[in-house]
Homo-oligomer: A and B are copies of this chain.
């Protein structure tokens, strides 16, 4: 049996009881560390699970094998390819679900029902400055929907450079450059850092405000709000600085629905 086990987003104890029991009984345990990162290292996981973790997937065999995925196994990147290859080899699989950024983003009070398509924001280079994510955000905005922006985690400007994680401030700056003088510079945005971890940080405000905020270490993501329900506004005020509070009261009326 090949088990896909979600680890959640925080630390070692965010694995489910079911997931932990399976990990401890498996003969081999693999860790997928590509698409997301926990706020604790591989060593902390190994100590807590009582298992060495193998970083490279070598294929499943006849014994029980666990494949650990930060967040939910099908949350950020689907592991469909691995599922299909396993089944083709006669290996059964089972998924142990957990929280991922796709649902925990609701912790800032923004209604998950009101999100449109998720977009990815990539690091610009001197020669490559794609703006397509803005068109997707605008489409959602035009329908009154919020947009979850997943921020670049994989850019390597040079080979052998360590991975870089885009911050909310960097994403806000890129969006401001695209927007220039348009009026939706006042849109209510939310920066989210290390959701699920002890030191998770949420900050709401305009792009301008988020461009100058420091939310600390990775992973960061961002919401561009659509139509806001009064209760959503009340929640977002919890996460705004003194200026942000003002902004949330004064922002253009298209953000509000009574």
Q: Which residues of A line the B interface, CB within 8 A?
A: 6, 8-18, 20-21, 71-76, 78, 80-81, 83-84, 87, 95, 97-100, 102-104, 106-107, 109, 111-118, 120, 139, 143, 145, 195-196, 231-232, 234-235, 238
Contact = CB atoms under 8 A, between A and B. Distances in A.
A82 B216 CA distance: 28
Contacts of A98: 8, 16, 98-99
A67 to B, nearest CB: 14
Contacts of A114: 117
Given A98-B8, A104-B72, A234-B80, A20 B18 contact: no
19 contacts: A9-B97, A12-B17, A14-B17, A14-B18, A14-B97, A16-B16, A17-B17, A71-B103, A78-B235, A80-B232, A81-B231, A84-B231, A84-B238, A87-B238, A98-B99, A100-B103, A103-B103, A112-B118, A139-B143
B97 A75 contact: no
Contacts of A115: 117-118
B13 A21 contact: yes
Given A13-B18, A21-B13, A80-B235, A99 B109 contact: no
Contacts of A231: 78, 80-81, 84
